[in-house]
Structure 1
Amino acid sequence: MRAQELEGLLEGFRGKVKANEPLAPIVWLRAGGPADLLAMPADVDDLALLLKALPEEVPVTVIGLGSNLLIRDGGIEGVVVRLSGKGLGKFEVDGDLIRVGTALPDKLFAKAALDAGLGGFAFYHGIPGGLGGALRMNAGANGGETCDRLVEVVALDRQGNRHALTQAEMGYSYRHSDAPKELIFVEALFRGERRPEEEIRAEMDAVQKHREEAQPIKTRTGGSTFKNPPGQRAWELIDAAGCRGLKIGGARVSEMHCNFLINEDDASAYDLELLGETVRARVLANSGVRLDWEVRRLGRFGETGEVEPFLGA
């Protein structure tokens, strides 16, 4: 579908639509190809209008702040939806309940909860990205997880219809949700607990201190690359396999924290994915453990070629 064809279907759409729009500048790894079409709806109603107007055969991909995302060099087919922080970044408090829009960055969510005197959300201070991604992957850090205080999620389906899912219906496990992939999360309801501000702030300061000391947060990275296997730590397995500092093209395994891949020298998405698969292969050979990707890989491979999964997964 071309931009002109989509515009003809979107009477009343208040957001923006751009054709062949580069995505590398808006993802943290700063690599990858363009979106065939990038749509930025103004709010939830605008998103519903877009979804209702799109023909069923047009693929729809939602991205947030791009922190946990590797977009392949061939770009993404169909329509890429990027949610607006202005239209879908609300934060409302009612007693110990917080209703929040999914485009709100995790760090701002933690700060807003602090200002409201509600504890239980300090761990979000250390998670890059937006709340929508956190809901999808049950993001967590420093002993806390998204599922811990979640009450309900509101989402739109591919046809623009509204659904509400309870915490139990989200089907959470470690870094995973069973919620249907087609659902686009637009808001969530959490329950906090009244805590002294200085206590919450101390927790957030501890989270920030840990990040600064242990993670390469000032580099072009996508956060933790692989999930921790049960009872083990991915970085220890990667280190034991001799992968600390390993480099392919412009991509390197961080010397500081070897579960982070870094775009060091204008790496292509091919470089980054090939490096990740090489790490998986070496860890398997050294320890017999199959690491699973935590970073989402999306889109088409580019002219450099396809990266074959070394482990068949």
Structure 2
Amino acid sequence: MTTETLPLARGKLTAKAPLAPLVWFKSGGPADWLFEPKDADDLAVFLGDLDPAVAVMALGLGSNLIVRDGGFPGVVVRLGKAFAKVEAIDATTLRCGGGASGILVSSTARDTGIAGLEFLRSIPGTVGGFVRMNGGAYGSEVKDILLEAEIVLRSGERRTLPLADLGYTYRHSELPAGAVVIGATFRGRPGEAQAIQAEMDRISANREASQPLRSKTGGSTFKNPDGHKAWALVDEAGCRGLTVGGAQVSEKHTNFLINTGAATSADIEALGEEVRRRVKAKSGVELQWEIQRVGVMK
């Protein structure tokens, strides 16, 4: 793709854009194009005019993602400040932009006396990402609070989907490939700001104590299989501290992989596959990736 073959856009288009600085693992190759739309209309028109054969991927904070070393052959959409607004629309409901962080959503809920959204404080991503993945933590999931999601389809069509149309299961939705979540409406329950803050503090302290938050990581690597905790299966298979190249299974929390400094995405993905192999051999359980892996091998 060249600038001449791309649709006109009011937002920012960057060719051969490095993605490693934008993802938590700090590894991986560039995107053919990085598109930061000016607003929802800009995104819809751009996608509608873009060659349907071109792959499109939305990128939030890059916390649950391995971008392979060959980069992403297509357009990566990154939602900026225009999509990061959060506002209360009544005593228990928030309307949130797809680029708003979990921290901003939970803090706004606290400030407006809305309880039940505290768990979003612990999800290191944006509304778009955790709506797509049915993100969850500490006993709650997005499906428990979502009323509807506003999306732009790969065709450029804008739609508002109620909860029932998202097909949520554990860490999965039926949102079509290439669709970009540009907003969501969440409903909590009435609460006291002080109690909400106390719960957010408890969650933050728990995460700090149990997860390698100061490392280059990607969050939880594997989904919890039915009846099991992924970290326990990884530990029992003797994988704590296991390394491949510059990638390591965290000593602090074995369901986290970390980039110790110079890991390639190939190192990280190979380590994950070796962990899966060892867990299967030890327990018979086949772990499923929770981290998304995109792009092409180098």
**TM-score category, normalised to shorter length:** over 0.9
- Structure 1 gaps, min length 5: 303-313
Cα deviation per residue 1:206-265 (whole Å; 9 max; x = unaligned)?
Answer: 100100110000100000000000111000000000000001100000000000000002
Residue matched to 1:277: 273
Aligned counterparts of 1:171 and 1:197: Cα–Cα separation in 2: 33
Secondary structure of the structure 2 residue equivalent to 1:39? strand
CA deviation after TM superposition for structure 1 residue 183, in Å: 2.0
Aligned counterparts of 1:223 and 1:234: Cα–Cα separation in 2: 13
* Residues 1:117 and 2:113 are matched in the alignment: yes
Residue matched to 2:2: 2
CA deviation after TM superposition for structure 1 residue 46, in Å: 1.1
Alignment RMSD: 0.9
- Structure 2 gaps, min length 5: none
Secondary structure of the structure 1 residue equivalent to 2:74? strand
Secondary structure of the structure 1 residue equivalent to 2:219? strand
1:137-216 alignment to 2 at 5 Å? Answer: 137-216=133-212
Aligned counterparts of 1:122 and 1:134: Cα–Cα separation in 2: 14
CA deviation after TM superposition for structure 1 residue 179, in Å: 2.2
Cα deviation per residue 1:7-39 (whole Å; 9 max; x = unaligned)?
Answer: xx30xx221111111100010000000001111
Residue type of the alignment partner of 1:5: T
Residue type of the alignment partner of 1:3: T
Residue matched to 1:89: 84
Does the 8 Å CA contact 2:68/2:295 hold for their aligned counterparts? Answer: yes
CA deviation after TM superposition for structure 1 residue 4, in Å: 4.0
Does the 8 Å CA contact 2:73/2:295 hold for their aligned counterparts? Answer: yes
Give 1:53's match in structure 2, choosing from 49, 54, 61: 49
Deviates more, 1:228-237 or 1:190-199: 190-199
Aligned counterparts of 1:4 and 1:81: Cα–Cα separation in 2: 19
Residue matched to 1:233: 229
Deviates more, 1:277-286 or 1:102-111: 102-111
Secondary structure of the structure 1 residue equivalent to 2:109? helix
Aligned counterparts of 2:10 and 2:85: Cα–Cα separation in 1: 18
CA deviation after TM superposition for structure 1 residue 42, in Å: 1.4
Cα deviation per residue 1:75-132 (whole Å; 9 max; x = unaligned)?
Answer: 0001111111x11111121212211101001111111111111011100111101111
Question: Structure 1 segments of 4 or more deviating over 3 A?
Answer: none
Aligned counterparts of 1:132 and 1:254: Cα–Cα separation in 2: 27
Does the 8 Å CA contact 1:3/1:18 hold for their aligned counterparts? Answer: no
Does the 8 Å CA contact 2:58/2:178 hold for their aligned counterparts? Answer: no
Give 1:248's match in structure 2, choosing from 231, 244, 248: 244
Does the 8 Å CA contact 2:87/2:108 hold for their aligned counterparts? Answer: no
Secondary structure of the structure 1 residue equivalent to 2:200? helix
Aligned counterparts of 2:55 and 2:137: Cα–Cα separation in 1: 32
Identity %: 49
Deviates more, 1:66-75 or 1:150-159: 150-159
Does the 8 Å CA contact 1:3/1:37 hold for their aligned counterparts? Answer: no
Does the 8 Å CA contact 1:248/1:275 hold for their aligned counterparts? Answer: yes
Give 1:36's match in structure 2, choosing from 29, 32, 36: 32
* Residues 1:21 and 2:17 are matched in the alignment: yes
Deviates more, 1:219-228 or 1:45-54: 45-54
Q: How many residues align structurally?
A: 297
Secondary structure of the structure 2 residue equivalent to 1:37? strand
Secondary structure of the structure 1 residue equivalent to 2:248? strand
Secondary structure of the structure 2 residue equivalent to 1:223? coil
Does the 8 Å CA contact 1:60/1:81 hold for their aligned counterparts? Answer: yes
